[in-house]
Structure 1
Amino acid sequence: MSLSLKNISVTHFVLVGLIEIESFGYVCAVLALALFSVTLFMSSMIVYVTWTEKSLHEPMYILICIMVINVMFGNTSYFPKLAIDLLSGCSTISLTGCLCQSFCIDLYGTYEIFSFTIMAYDRYLAVGHPLRYHTLMTNITTQTISLALCVFNVVIVTVNILLTLRLTFCGVNINNVYCEIMSIQPLVCNDITINVMYRTILTLFISIVCLLLIMYCYLRTVVICLKLSAESSHKAIHTLMTHILAFSIYIVTVLFLNFRYSLSTGSISTKVDIIIPLIGSSIATSANPLIYGIRTKALREKIVCNLHNWHTKRIK
């Protein structure tokens, strides 16, 4: 970066990804709105039935409810703006708007792995210590742990945004369809060593700790399931496979999204570089409510029952 650019004051960025897909922008906008609507509906139903049905006032369903609320938050920070920008033909975003969207997306993404960690631990306790489960993992304990991790998450993401605020930007073209810290770092003029170190250390710490806990809990739960009766083992493994499926999709999409940053500039086409975060983010922010809503029997039955009752009342 030449020194002559150092004093440029950037107030707006250009989302190059939106320009690259503008030829089929209306199709993408309709798909984004459809996916957002379906995910929001399913998430709302899960939250509603968990809140209203006393039989679902258990740690596992509370954790699923908290997770889909996080998904709703992530969806709201991503899909509506994407659809509006595509329909209006707008491809710019203010610095403030960019940092706000980065904050929301980081908050969603980081809290997601925390949610999976708590859920893995909850299933391990439920299968491995059934007699002490309701003492070890109460509803209050679940809510307290979730709230504490939420506060911790807000703090670490806020620090990352504050570190970004002190930087000077020389470029305006963001090679993405939305704003995130990793996408705007190549546009920075001054030294970003502190930012990179903070993000790297934090990412490694959270990833290693959470992944080790999740793997330990899942492996221990599988081993215990193999020693149970056929009926108990089938039920426990079905629930466990639902969590593993959702977690696997999360991990794959995270790796998929980060894959583009490991590639050197010019090694892939601009359109492909744009499609990667477009598809990856869409999957990451919509898969979980559908998986838990369909595969979790108690939730599925309550959702279907409520929909049937609403339909019956409407007809009358």
Structure 2
Amino acid sequence: MENSTYFHPSVLMLSFGDLTSLRYLFSALTLIGYFIIIFVNGTVISAVVLNKTLHEPMYIFIAALCVNGLYGSIAFYPILFVHLVYNVQTISYTGCLTQVFFLHTYGSFEMTTLTIMAYDRYVCICNPLRYNNIMSLATVFKLIVAAWLYPIVIVGLHVMLTARLPMCGSLIMKVYCDNWSVVRLSCVDTTVNNIYGFFIASSLVVSALVMLSYSYTKILKVCTRSSKDILNKAMQTCGPQLITSVNFIVDIFFEIFLYRFTPTIIPYNVRQFMSMQFLVVPPLLNPLIYGIKITEMRVKIIKMFNMNKIYNK
């Protein structure tokens, strides 16, 4: 009799809370934010692709980070906009798992890309004479493929483990689907899912923290023994990466740990907005920071727009 309560729902309910009372305002902000993300990330990607002088590892990694920003935004903004405009708070079970896959691979891509970017800066500053040999273009593209292939495999398995669970609930306490929210709807033992989820978090977040800490500690030691010019150059390229890395890790830390273990100590509306931080801030922040703070990138972007103006005349 107990098993009769288990089912695989065709539709899941999302929780929009107070967003529905101002849904037209939030839908407009969602649309504007989405177009801004497309514009700023597309601008950085175009600058890297169109300028041969930017065909270097650091800029290629920045372009990869912006591609990932577009990838994650496509899986989040359009469906959120539709839900707000039409006041729809449901999503199909298949659509929910699909969104889980895309959003979790987006977050994983971000972590792995930031990790290899830290490694790139470590090699550049700590082993400058060997940099070109170590970070050849072939190596760069292999690192990017590995940084994207690994998350696809581990997140794909994660979603498959979730899809096998019978459900006895249908309410997700967010405006989007994430794996833990779906797992919580199951009435059966989810130990395997929890252990595997902990493995993913450890392999991505912890490894990224270790690599970032090691790389920038080594970089700082080298800079303290170098001239002021070298220190300024290092800060110009490492500063933006530190900002984007710390911002994303803090957002992910909240999403993975605080929401999972202590969700009730934070007001519901605050949790709703905080749960969207890693989907909203990095795609906006990354291209702006890299496009403004890195001089060569900024110059190429300005030149690109000036050439467009001349061409249009």
TM class by shorter-chain length? over 0.9
Change (3 A) 1:61 1:268: closer
1:220 paired to 2:218? yes
**Which structure 2 residue ranges, 5 or more long, are not aligned?**
none
Q: How does 1:168-247 map to 2 (within 5 A)?
A: 168-247=166-245
**Counterpart residue identity of residue 16, structure 1:** S
SS across alignment from 1:90:
coil
User: Whole-Å Cα distance in 1 between the matches of residues 52 and 180 of structure 2?
Assistant: 43
Q: Where does structure 1 differ by over 6 angstroms across 4 or more consecutive aligned residues? A: none
TM-score (norm 2): 0.95
User: Whole-Å Cα distance in 2 between the matches of residues 8 and 96 of structure 1?
Assistant: 14
Q: In the alignment, is the contact (CA less than 8 A) between 1:128 and 1:221 conserved in 2?
A: yes
C-alpha displacement of 1:307: 1.1
* Match of residue 263 from structure 1: 262
C-alpha displacement of 1:26: 1.4
Residue of 37, 43, 46 corresponding to 2:44: 46
RMSD between superposed Cα atoms in Å = 1.7
User: Whole-Å Cα distance in 2 between the matches of residues 280 and 150 of structure 1?
Assistant: 18
C-alpha displacement of 1:5: 5.9
Q: How does 1:152-163 map to 2 (within 5 A)?
A: 152-163=150-161
Change (3 A) 1:26 1:300: same
**Counterpart residue identity of residue 158, structure 2:** N
Q: How does 1:125-140 map to 2 (within 5 A)?
A: 125-140=123-138
Residue of 148, 163, 166 corresponding to 1:165: 163
The worse-fitting range, judged by mean Cα deviation, of 93-102 and 177-186 is 177-186
User: Whole-Å Cα distance in 2 between the matches of residues 262 and 189 of structure 1?
Assistant: 18
Q: In the alignment, is the contact (CA less than 8 A) between 1:75 and 1:286 conserved in 2?
A: no
Q: In the alignment, is the contact (CA less than 8 A) between 1:74 and 1:105 conserved in 2?
A: yes
Q: In the alignment, is the contact (CA less than 8 A) between 1:225 and 1:237 conserved in 2?
A: no
Q: In the alignment, is the contact (CA less than 8 A) between 1:5 and 1:170 conserved in 2?
A: no
Residue of 287, 291, 308 corresponding to 1:310: 308
User: Whole-Å Cα distance in 2 between the matches of residues 5 and 178 of structure 1?
Assistant: 28
**Counterpart residue identity of residue 151, structure 2:** N
* Match of residue 97 from structure 2: 99
Number of residue equivalences = 312
The worse-fitting range, judged by mean Cα deviation, of 283-292 and 53-62 is 283-292
**Which structure 1 residue ranges, 5 or more long, are not aligned?**
none
Q: In the alignment, is the contact (CA less than 8 A) between 1:171 and 1:188 conserved in 2?
A: yes
TM-score (norm 1): 0.94
**Counterpart residue identity of residue 151, structure 1:** L
